[in-house]
Amino acid sequence: MKLKRLLEELNEAVPFTKKNKYYYFTIADNNYRASFFKHHTSSNNYIQFGFQLMKNKKEGTIDLTNTGHVKKVFSTVLNILKDYEAENKPKYLAFQSNKNEPSRVRFYNLLVHNIHKYADNYILDKIYEDESENNIVFLIKRKN
């Protein structure tokens, strides 16, 4: 499925629960956990968003390849982002991907360039490489 079309069709979210600082949801026997945490660097302070497939109750993996149900997963992730944004109103929110994950890089790139469709209080701030961790960081900024 083309990524642009995927973004246009993100309307299959499943319910999620919040417990402490985590959000949990299940799709077809796969358990996921999403989280937000403060990230500080010499040049940026922002809230980092991440989600992972849980291997067990404590351990997860960011490798989500071939787990299926892409639209349900990303629809739910977008609803979690909206929920967090409504409650916390962070000034900056970041997505991060390893450079060696081209599909995730493409997805986050497309998402932040279209963020106004999903979180109208945010605009793209910048995209940059974090060489120390071999990552690309996609940073969005609150409009006001």
Q: What is the CATH number of the domain that holds 87?
A: 3.40.630
Residue 128 tokens read as: 């940059």
Helices (H), the chain: 3-8, 70-88, 102-113
Number of compact structural domains in the chain: 1
Predicted confidence (pLDDT) per residue in 53-104, tens digit: 877 666 655 555 556 677 888 889 889 988 998 898 889 999 888 888 887 7
* Structural domain span for residue 65: 3-142
The pLDDT of residue 103 = 76
pTM exceeding the 0.75 threshold for the entire prediction: yes
